[in-house]
Every structure is written in C-alpha cells, then in structure tokens.
Amino acid sequence: VCKRGDVTVKPSHVISLGSAVNISCSLKPKQVCSPYSRFNTLILYQFHRRIRFQRGDSLSSQVTDLPLGTTLFVCKLACGSSDEIQICGAEISVGVVPEQPQNLSCIQKGERGTVACTWDRGRDTHLYTAYTLQLNGPKNLAWQKQCNDHYCDHLDLGINLTPESPESSYTAEVTAVNSLGSASSLPSTFTWLDIVRPLPPWDIRIKFVNASVSRCTLQWRDEGLVLLNRLRYRPSNSKSWNTVNATNARGRHDLLDLKPFTEYEFQISSKLHLYKGSWSDWSEPLRTQTPEEEPTGMLDVWYTKQHFDYNRQQISLFWKRIIYLNNKFQDQKKTFYFHNGFDKRLQRHGNPRMWIFRNIFSVVIEKGEGGKQAVGEKAAPPQKQQEDSSKRNNLPENNEA
C-alpha cells in the first residue's frame, strides 16, 4: 500500500504477449503540492524512462508492445522546481501459456531406488509456472508431487516400486499451470520392468587360474534380479572394445582370448530382462595386467667334464635359450647341484636376471673317493661328454652365450 497515492493496472498485472494494458496513477487527498492543480504534475516512468506526464491529481496511459518478462512502472509527483516525489509503482508481467510437456519418461535407479520422471517443458513461459506430476498404479494407487522451480523439468516422487507384480501397469502424467492457462502431457504407461535400471556392477575382479592367461575368469557383484550382462574389454592402448553378452552369468564369465603380459581395461553393464528395460551405466573400470605366458617344452641341458689334475676337475653345464613372448625374456630360476666324493653339496641358486644372458655354468671341484659327480638336469652319456659339447653348440668350454 502506498502512502501518497495509488497505481492501478487493467485488465491484469499478468498479460499475454502482444496485449495492451491501462495504467492509472492518482494522488490521495492532502498529498498534492498545492490546492491549485496547475502546480501538480504527475509523471509515469517505465523503468527509468519517462513515458507520460500530466498536470493535476490523476494520470492514465495505455501501454502496448511490452516485452516478455517483468516491466516496472513508477508514478512520481513534481512540485514546481523541487525534486520529484515517488507516489507508487506497479509491475506488469508478460508471458505465454505453457506448451504441452513432451517426452515424459520415468526411471527407477536400482531395485531399491525411487521413481523420477523427466520431460521437455517447451518454450519458456516467462511466468511463474507450476508443474504437477501424477502417477497412478494398480488397485487405485496414486502419487502426486508439485515442482515450483521456474525451470522445472524433472521430479522425484520419492516412492519405490517393488517387483511383486513386474508386469503391472503404471501411468504418469505431468501438468503445467500458470496465470494464462494450463497444458498436460500425453500419459506415459509402463511396467516395473520397463523403468527399473539396475545399478552398475561393483566389486569387479579378475582371476587367472594357475597364473595362466589362457584360463581367466572375470567376477563381479550385481543386484539380485539381473538376468543379462554385457562385458567390454580392451588393451589400455587401444580405442576399440571387445564386447560380450552373457545371460544368467551370476557374477562370473570366462574370457579366453586375452593376450599375455598386456594391460587390459574391463567394464560391465547389467539388465533385468532380455527385451524390456534399459541397461545400467557402465561399471567403474578395472585395469590389470595379464600374466606372462608359460614357456613350453623341455629345457635342453648337457654338461662336460675336464680333468685338471689328479685331484681337480671342471664340470661345465650348457643349456639352450628359450624363445620368449613379447620380445621379453622369461625369468628362469635354476639350481644346480654337484656332489663330491665326501658327499658335500655345492649349491648355486640362480639370480633370475642372470640366466637371461648366460647359458653356461661351470664349477671346479675336488675329486673324492669314488669320484662321484651328479647334476640335477639332463646329462649326456659319460663317454661323449667332451665331444658332445663342441658338436651341439659349437662352443668351447667355459664360453658364454
């Protein structure tokens, strides 16, 4: 309420785009500058722009072509050469009728989640517009919630639909209302299976049986009613995915085509029904490196003996190098045992890296009673030891590979 006067707006403070409006300003009794009207001048401002003035104690003006949104009008009184005195003001809102909401869809994230719906509002009304979402279900069940946000295009009903009757139908509808009119969406009908989106799988891990890349099992945890999974995996340096679908996987699936000694990225998605509903979001990625491939075949080993004198002899052990995958040498731990006549064991444990660059091992031992020597690998016949050494590898004794 203004103390000095009033500003009235007709037909309404809220009008549709393109409509005209009449604005009147009047002074209350005893609020004039002088009893003589020629000294009283009323001035009407649109924001800070003067649009009309008139001498006397009242003023009226018709305004057209107002823009969308809110426009402020202020009436002031000028008394001769003195400063202008503010009398009163009014806001006029210009907008449009809401359009029919389109593309209404609802989803429930997870079996224990709540129903949330989204829609397209259409053009901006430039007015306060309330949206009401209503969901009707079996046995005359009904839920309703209103959104007061100016740009409302989604609502969470806060209710959980259960799988007790997965084929029962539900109908959702959203209605938009403002001062100029209302509009309702087309009804959206769905079942529990249609709208429930499972949570992404979690606790993803991979198991290599006997540390072998040829026997790999991917494991994960899922919600209880998941029926279908899709797995995707790729080497970390690749942009393309390998995708596999698995039905009734129950949280595990065997992969048979992984490459050894390669870093892979794995992700999994879930679905409740073969044909209905939607896939979950992809899980968090699991990154891991596959083990190296095991070497195959038997290690080819032989040895030679060389007599130094009556009490000493040299035993040299030879073996062929293994061909390794991925241009990398497979680490090999080797232990060799030699026994002298006093049954004292001389033992050497191989450093894994050492055997990459060497394929000869030699040791000098003293002869004991009986002259016994033993090597824990494949050996050539005694009568051909020295001869076989040079023939098979063309290596002199004590030569390094």
Name, in order, each residue with C-beta under 8 angstroms of 383's C-beta and a sequence gap of 6 or more: none
Through-space distance between the first and last CA atoms of the chain, rounded to whole angstroms: 105
Spans in the chain with pLDDT lower than 70: 34-38, 81-82, 294-297, 321-401
Q: Where are the domains of the chain?
A: 5-95, 102-196, 198-289, 301-339
CB 401 within 8 A of CB 357: yes
- The domain covering 198-289 belongs, at the CATH homologous superfamily level, to Immunoglobulins (2.60.40.10)
Mind listing the pLDDT tens digit for each residue in 130-173?
999 999 999 889 999 999 777 899 999 999 999 888 889 999 99
Six-digit token pair at 142?
Answer: 């009904």
Amino acid, res. 356: I
* Nearest C-alpha neighbor of 24 from the set 1, 48, 54, 68: 54
- Residue 322 Cα distances to 282, 294, 296, 358, 396, angstroms: 42, 11, 9, 12, 21
Q: Quick one: CATH architecture of 5-95?
A: Sandwich (2.60)
| 270 phi, psi to nearest 5 deg | -130, 160
CB 85 within 8 A of CB 77: yes
**Per-residue pLDDT at 142:** 95
**Per-residue pLDDT at 14:** 96
Q: Do the domains spanning 102-196 and 198-289 agree at the CATH topology level?
A: yes
**Per-residue pLDDT at 308:** 72
**Per-residue pLDDT at 367:** 53
Mind listing the pLDDT tens digit for each residue in 272-330?
999 999 999 999 999 999 998 766 667 778 788 887 777 777 777 777 765 554 444 44
**Per-residue pLDDT at 364:** 58
Classify domain 102-196 at the CATH topology level. Answer: Immunoglobulin-like (2.60.40)
pTM of the model: 0.68
CB 372 within 8 A of CB 333: no
Instruction: Compute the distance between CA of residue 146 and CA of residue 279 in angstroms, rounded to an integer.
Output: 29
**Per-residue pLDDT at 34:** 66
